[in-house]
């Protein structure tokens, strides 16, 4: 199985485009390339009931679930709004990501 091209990476600031948390912003905590899913901190949260074990107490935890990469968009570093991602080769030969709206480099 081949990995799909995902233009969003761990640590990027993104905004949600759909769902009950539409418009919320957060940082990408995890990217799964095989399933094309991302986990965003503080977004798409649910309550998880856990039984107590010998090492951990039981209780109700709040966890963030993953979502499809198509439901998030990268934040433009200049304007703070959603933007698409492009690539550009610099004069020294390095390849960088750019925001399509403003042309600013990301990273």
Per-residue pLDDT tens listing for the chain (107 residues): 677 788 999 999 999 999 999 999 999 999 999 999 999 999 999 999 999 999 999 999 999 999 999 999 999 989 889 999 999 999 999 999 999 998 999 87
* Residues in Cβ contact with 72 at an 8 Å cutoff, skipping those fewer than 6 apart: 8, 14, 15, 16, 17, 28, 38, 40
* Domain architecture of the chain: domains with CATH: 13-48+60-106 (2.30.30.30)
The structure tokens 């998880």 sit at 48
pTM here is 0.82
């Amino acid at each position: 199985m081949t990995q799909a091209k995902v233009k969003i990476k761990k640590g990027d600031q993104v905004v949600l485009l759909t769902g009950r948390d539409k418009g919320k912003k957060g940082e990408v905590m995890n990217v799964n390339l095989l399933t094309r899913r991302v986990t965003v901190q503080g977004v798409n949260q649910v309550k998880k009931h856990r039984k107590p074990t010998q090492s951990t107490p039981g209780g109700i935890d709040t966890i963030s679930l993953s979502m499809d990469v198509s439901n998030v968009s990268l934040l433009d570093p200049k304007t703070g709004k959603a933007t698409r991602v492009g690539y550009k080769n610099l004069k020294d030969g390095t390849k960088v990501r750019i925001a399509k709206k403003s042309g600013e480099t990301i990273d």
